[in-house]
Amino acid sequence: MTAPLALHAEWTKLRTVASTGWLLAGAAALTVAVGVLVDLASACPSTGCPADPAKVSLTGVQAGQAIVAIVAVLAVSSEYSTGMIRITLAAMPRRLTVLAAKATLAAGLVLAASAVAVLASVLAGRLILPGHGLTPALSLAQGPVLRAAAGSVLYLTLIALLSLGIATAVRESAVAIGLVLGLLYLFPVVTSVIGNQHWQRHLEQIAPMTAGLYVQATKGLKSLPLTPWQGLGVLALWAAGALTLGALVLRFRDA
Amino acid sequence: MTTVTPYRSTARDARDGFGPLLHAEWTKFRTVPGWVIGILVAVLATAGLGLLIGKSTTPSCSAQGPGGQQGPVQHGAACGGPIYARGPGGEPVRDEFYFVRQPLAGNGSITAQVTSLSGRLAEQGGGPAPSVLEPWSKAGIIIKDGTGQGSPYAAMMVTGGNGVRMQWNYTGDTAGLPGAVSAASPRWLRLTRDGGTITGYDSADGTHWTRVGTVTLAGLPSTVQAGLFVTSPQHYSYSASLGSGSVDDNPTQATAVLDHVSRAGTWPASAWTGDYVGGSASSGAGASPGPGANGYHQTAGRFTVTGSGDIAPLIAGALNDGPAITVRDYLLGSFAGLIAVAVVASMFMTAEYRRGLIRTTLAATPNRRRVLAAKATVIGAAAFVAGLAAAAGAVLLATYAAHGNGSSVFPEPWPAELRIIAGTAALIAVAAVFTLAVATIVRRSATAILIVIVTIVVPFVLSAPPGIPAGLTEWLLRITPAAAFALQQPAPQYYQVQASYIPSSGFFPLAPWTGFAVLCGWTALALVLASYLLRRRDA
């Protein structure tokens, strides 16, 4: 009986904070803007094109995820910074229900915003890329493109859940956002210079951003260390781990 | 409604001066355990990642691992500890060419006419090798300290695609007559030695000479080696767009015909000697330059010389046969340090608002700009010290680990290494002040960190292959604060060396300190806005 009430309470909190809407709109806008810029800057030599049109048009996800992360982090950490968490937990003593409600809402909002952003990015890619030599034109009727698009939406949703879990565990918004963005962006930077091929491959397999974005690949799948869905699975494991950690901290530590 | 003049304290600002204010801010900083831990995390993460990167380097002899297409090519270097020749300026160089030489005692000159320069890919298994003339294939005359690799020299040469050049001591390069060489339009080259000074001339007809350049080579002995040389660098074929393709490199060979070779001065030897400097397989005098062989062939005053290699600085990590790993790669962990420092720097300001301490702070020091200056000084200094420890630790640990692996690392001249380490510390320090200013503007630590990471870290991440198109990357790394990573550039770009000068190899569109100035500019802008808002808004 408490679940719908918790959902309603959390929805009211999220909806009545101006920053939620702005940040979600910002995440979608940044995703589309970076995607369009990359589309416009892409070029292909006349002798075959190694570029993957789906991946190119969805490059914006790599930037947009930073804002998605902050939406999810603020959904939790702002309660701690304002002391609201004590009222929340007094009203709803079942702490895991609170966390589940927050996770559901954050995931739902991000899912909706990223669906818009991804569809717009694919549409922009479909219109722009053929003019730059990247063919065939993107179409969601193609299986791999549909997978890349749907996977990108899920990717951003999982990033939100990962951020929510980490924020619940560390509570402080600054630390949480530092951890999330460090986790996402540091792996690809460091992996690029790892000389040992085996280590490099393993790091690519466990890096949440690198592995998760395999879901966007529609070309050269054989050379990837994981299949696209396995890659997204790695990110899902990270998100599940973070949420579990957050749940444990929330359950057993004083707010 | 009457206008009310806002109350302004008549007390003198900060009676006790800036020193006690700094002390107060330093006390705030050091007494919050979380912040001290954050700074320690920055140091440990950077150094730890440096160790990981050093540990993961592969021994030079097995560098051509599965999928690796850019393992370093060894030139006469033993496995486990290659020695790269160093030029007179201390920079690592490639010094490999076919040299037809005689000793020259004292002052004198050498003149030659180049009538043709052609090139082809070397060692193509079976079939005629495709002819490829590299833009920087070189043929001409040279005066050199000796045949030791890395010794001082000055040379006049005809190139495959860059006209006549005078080059000296690996990094020096001056253009002479433009255009390609052919039998119909030959090029005359002359080098004149006077003590340590060498002057290069070129001419299209052998009568009218133009001085191309005069250089002074320090420490040139009285007897030098002088003669003809030919060399030709690697050929790179990029099957790439968007930085995601692969790069193939193949050695090439160039053959030049040099005629009307004449000498002036004291040349004690009676005959020419052929040497493949820096190469393993050398052919003796008179060997005809057949496929795969470097050598020379003389008919009266006419020489046909074939050679491969290059006389140029090594370019780290950019496929110019240099080692793939550089000191800058060891410092990629500084991204972790940067993020940790940014978290602390933003909280250093936002915690004041969270706890309401800002009201006490501003009551104690009504001059708000001074408060901001003191905070910026404290966090900047702390971040600089931490950054220095982090960078030095990362480089030391990684060097130690890579040495244990027997890996070849780009041998950085010490001024550059110092610039990279101190520059990394300065980058982290200014980024901390930038974060503090942004946090003062937005007052929310999460937003401040987001802005800092999106502007400093994300452009760099996007520039790594397979990333965004090169043109876009270049602009991102010019105008965003991420431009400051140019401080970590391991080696200068040389116009006269063909290599892939891309950000992921450590080559940035801006010069090191110019890139740093971009970050400083953004920081100054943010500080001005922050101090304005801090004064205008209620705390």
DSSP string, B109-154: EEEEEEEEEEEEES--SSSPPPP---TT-EEEEEEES-SSTT--EE
How far CA B236 is from CA of B122, B247, B474, B503, in Å, comes to 13, 7, 22, 18
In whole angstroms, give the CA distance from residue A140 to residue B535: 53
The whole domain housing A156 covers: 2-252
How far CA A15 is from CA of A9, A24, A111, A168, B450, in Å, comes to 10, 12, 16, 20, 22
Give B329 to chain A, closest Cα distance, Å.
6
Contact A167, A71 (CB under 8 A): no
* B366's tokens: 């009504």
Closest C-alpha among B114, B146, B376, B109 to residue B267? B109
Give A42 to chain B, closest Cα distance, Å.
6
Give the pLDDT score at B348: 93
Give the pLDDT score at A234: 94
Is the pLDDT at B327 greater than 60? The verdict is yes
Average pLDDT (A114-143) is 86
User: What domain count does chain A have?
Assistant: 1
**Strand partners of residue B202:** B189, B210
Contact B436, B346 (CB under 8 A): yes
- Chain segment B6-29, per-residue pLDDT in tens: 787 676 654 567 888 899 899 999
Residue with tokens 């909190």: A13
Substitution target in B335, B343, B403 with the highest count of A β-carbons within 10 Å is B343
Which of A112-121, B50-59, B474-483 is predicted with the least confidence, judged by mean pLDDT? B50-59
Angle at B28 between CA B25 and CA B32, to 5 degrees: 150
Residue with tokens 């496995």: B79
Closest C-alpha among B428, B450, B462 to residue B334? B428
In whole angstroms, give the CA distance from residue B134 to residue B256: 13
Give the pLDDT score at A47: 60
Give the pLDDT score at B244: 41
* B460's tokens: 């760099």
Number of CB atoms found within 10 A of residue B239's CB: 13
Compare all CA atoms of chain B with the CA of A174 and give the residue at the minimum distance. B446
In whole angstroms, give the CA distance from residue A81 to residue A77: 6
Q: Can you say how many angstroms the Cα of residue A84 is from the centroid of all Cα atoms in its chain?
A: 26
Handedness of CA B445, B451, B455, B461 (dihedral sign): positive
Give the pLDDT score at B288: 38
Interface of B with A in 226-255 (CB under 8 A): 239-242, 244-245
When the pLDDT of each residue in chain B is averaged and rounded to a whole number, the result is: 82
Contact B21, B374 (CB under 8 A): yes
Strand B235-239 and strand B246-250: the pairing is antiparallel
Contact A100, A43 (CB under 8 A): no
Instruction: Look at B241 and A45 and tell me if their CB atoms are within 8 Å.
Output: yes
For residues B422 and B124, the model is more confident at B422
Buried b (16+ CB within 10 A) or exposed e, A157-171: bbbbbbbbbbbbbbb
Give the pLDDT score at B330: 87
Contact B283, B274 (CB under 8 A): yes
Residue B530 banded pLDDT, cuts 50, 70, 90: very high
When the pLDDT of each residue in chain A is averaged and rounded to a whole number, the result is: 88
In whole angstroms, give the CA distance from residue B379 to residue B346: 10
Kind plus residue range of the DSSP H or E element containing B299: strand B295-299
How far CA B177 is from CA of B143, B161, B171, B185, B495, in Å, comes to 20, 12, 20, 11, 17
Instruction: Look at A38 and B240 and tell me if their CB atoms are within 8 Å.
Output: no
Residue type, B413: P
Backbone φ/ψ region at B292: left (φ over 0), alpha (ψ -120 to 50), beta: left
Contact B189, B157 (CB under 8 A): yes
Strands annotated E in chain A: none
| B335 burial via Cβ count (<10 Å: 0-12, 13-18, 19+) | buried
- Chain segment A74-105, per-residue pLDDT in tens: 999 888 888 888 888 888 888 888 899 999 99
Nearest to A51 among B53, B244, B450 (CB): B244
Phi, psi of B218 (to 5 degrees): -70, 140
Average pLDDT (B45-49) is 92
Backbone φ/ψ region at A83: left (φ over 0), alpha (ψ -120 to 50), beta: left
Cβ neighbors of B318 (< 8 A, separation 6 or more) are: B499, B500, B501, B502, B505, B506, B507
Cα radius of gyration rounded to whole Å, chain B: 29
Instruction: Look at A190 and B454 and tell me if their CB atoms are within 8 Å.
Output: no
Give the pLDDT score at B433: 96
Residue with tokens 């200068």: B492
| B432 burial via Cβ count (<10 Å: 0-12, 13-18, 19+) | buried
B329 to chain A: which residues are within 8 Å by CB? 193
Q: Among the ranges A62-66, A189-193, B178-182, which has the highest mean pLDDT value? A: A62-66
A197 to chain B: which residues are within 8 Å by CB? 58, 65-68
Tell whether A221 lies on the interface with B, counting CB pairs under 8 A.
Answer: no
Tell whether B32 lies on the interface with A, counting CB pairs under 8 A.
Answer: no
- The CATH fold of domain B93-313: Jelly Rolls (2.60.120)
Coil, strand or helix: which one is B507? Answer: coil
Instruction: Look at A189 and B332 and tell me if their CB atoms are within 8 Å.
Output: yes
Average pLDDT (A178-198) is 85
Coil, strand or helix: which one is A168? Answer: helix
- Chain segment B50-103, per-residue pLDDT in tens: 998 888 877 654 433 333 333 344 333 334 445 678 888 878 888 888 999 999
For residues B515 and A200, the model is more confident at B515
Residue B282 banded pLDDT, cuts 50, 70, 90: very low
In whole angstroms, give the CA distance from residue A160 to residue A238: 11
Give A36 to chain B, closest Cα distance, Å.
11
In whole angstroms, give the CA distance from residue B323 to residue B332: 17
| Furthest C-alpha separation in chain A | 66
Phi, psi of A71 (to 5 degrees): -55, -50
How far CA B216 is from CA of A60, B86, B103, B168, B213, in Å, comes to 54, 18, 19, 9, 10
Q: How many residues are present in chain A?
A: 255
DSSP letter, residue A216: G
Q: Can you say how many angstroms the Cα of residue B360 is from the centroid of all Cα atoms in its chain?
A: 49
Is the pLDDT at B500 greater than 80? The verdict is no
Compare all CA atoms of chain A with the CA of B452 and give the residue at the minimum distance. A178
